[in-house]
Structures are given as structure tokens and as C-alpha cells.
Structure 1
């Protein structure tokens, strides 16, 4: 099998850089696999593979020597790339979840603030015995599920005060059948006049 066919059969991911240097005892072959698609900086820590031997030795054992380490380096960088992508995805998901959590927390704080303000107004109106207005100002239990029971209890208390007697309910109403003082006085005066007329006659 030809050199390049055997090289292609390794199925490496990335760019294989190969440098051949003549030495006094033969040749030194330096191989470095580079995968620019791998965003992890750890890939730069992978050292080049150096092989030294005579041309005959290199022809006989070159691919047997480089096959395993080159495939390991290729797989490592592919794994690093996958790891980097998963890490970025996890970071994005984490940031998204934190944003959603922050938004929910802020919304809940605003809701609790609105609840406290509404209940404060209800208490003020209740102290003034303006029960109907206080009832109308109570928050919606569906919008405040955590305080729903307290809201329903307060509404029941206010509703019970609707039937209490008002300010003018205690004033007695005068009976129409009871004769007035003016009528009695008038009657006395009439009777007296009649007696005087009778004596004169």
C-alpha cells in the first residue's frame, strides 16, 4: 500500500503536520496533529511525535509506530472539542436558568409588595369601619396563592361586618298613634272655653 493511502487509512481528524529532518544516523520524522475546530486550549499541550531511524527502519515500521499515538491524539482532540461544546452549552443553559430564576424572583417580590400595600390599605379602611371599601380593596386570591387563605379569611371578616347596625339605626322612631303634647294642650283649652261659655249663659 502506498504511503498516502496508509496515511488516509488512519482516519485522523485535523491537519497532520509532518517534518522530515536528515540526521547523521538517518532521519528524524516529526508529526504534529492540529485540530483548529477544537476550542479547548488544552490541545496545545499535546507535544509532537518524534521518530528517528534509518530510511529502511522507517519504511518498515513507520505506520506501526505512529498509528496508535496519532489516533489517540486525534480522538483526544475530538473529545476535547465535544467537551468544550458541551461545556459552552452547559454554561449557556446555566446562564439562562439564572436569568429565569432572577426574573421569577423579581416578579414574586413585586407581587408581594403589591399584596402588602393592598392589605395595609384594607386595614386602614377597616379601622375606619368602611368595611365595604375595605372588602373591595382586598387582593385577588388567585394572584396571591401563597396568601389565598389569609385573603379569604379577611374577606369573611369584612363581609360579617356588612350586617352590623349603622349610626342611625339606634334612633327611636315616634309612634303615629301617640298623641302629641300640642294636641293635648289644644284639647284642654277647648274644654275650658266650653265651660266658661256655659257659666256665662
Structure 2
């Protein structure tokens, strides 16, 4: 049996990664979750884009899938391009920043004067305990990232450590909690149907 599904994707002429998940219920209705990502985008904001969900019968999807995808794809592709360009411009500006250069020079001068590199407050902990705590935190955050990639935001939130456990990571933990809550809420609202 011949299909022209991949020929349709080729005609879109947009390099990237396509992730499709197809679910069929007992009544023969389909839910297709489609997510297009750029090949290279270093901006973490790209992870905020959630999949587009399309629901309907096999005939509905045969007739309308590529119309919906074609409608959304240019905006998504342009967003990835803008994110990457923005990220590069931010890095260029940061490198050229006089304040950044002054900071580097100050650190060099301090190191030359004292003969030691500056330490932050967390370096005062017992090294073995600090290393164990760091490994545990990194393991938890890796698990959260994996759950996030699979759109399991509720489970990721349950795993997220508290600020009391890692006070030195307060900003990171608060930002991660806000991001996961936002994605969870968006996922609840994201189902598009062909009836709308």
C-alpha cells in the first residue's frame, strides 16, 4: 500500500525533527500529537513549545492533518530561527559588554593579589557532603528533565526538591516549578479538535 505522507512532509521544505504520537481509542477515533523542533536551537525557551494535538476520525485526519500542520509550521519554524538568532546576539553583546570585561579584570586582579581563586559560600561545606548533595540534586534534575521531555509535568513537579532542601538553588527551583506548572496548565488547554 502506497501513501504520500512523507512526500507531503518533504514539500513543506522545513528541516527539523518531527515527533508524532498516534493514539486510537476503542471507537476508532484518533488523537495525533505532533511536535516540530528545529535541528539546532540552543535557547531553552524552545522547550516551552508544546505539541499540537489533533483529534478526529481517520478520514478527518486524512483530509485535514496537513492543512493544520501547514498552517502552524511557518510560525513555529520562524520562532526557532528567531530564538537562535536572539541567543547568538545576546552572547555577542555579553562578550562585548564593558561591565563583563571589568568583572573579568577584577577577578584576575584579585587572584593575582591573593594567589587564590575566589570561593563562594557553599564552598565552605564539607567537601564529601557537598559532592553527595550535588550528585543527588543533579540526578533529581535529570529525572525531572526526562519527565518534562515526555510531557509528564505533574510527576516532574512531585519530584522537584524544595527550596528548604537546596537553599542555594532557590531561583532555579522557583523558575523550574513555575515553568512546570505553566506547561501543565497549557497541556490541559492544548487539545485542538477539527470541530473548532
With structure 2 as the length reference, what TM-score do the two structures score?
0.47
Q: Larger Rg: 1 or 2?
A: 1
> Normalized against structure 1, the TM-score is what?
0.45
Which structure's relative contact order is higher, taking Cα pairs within 8 Å and 6+ residues apart?
A: 2
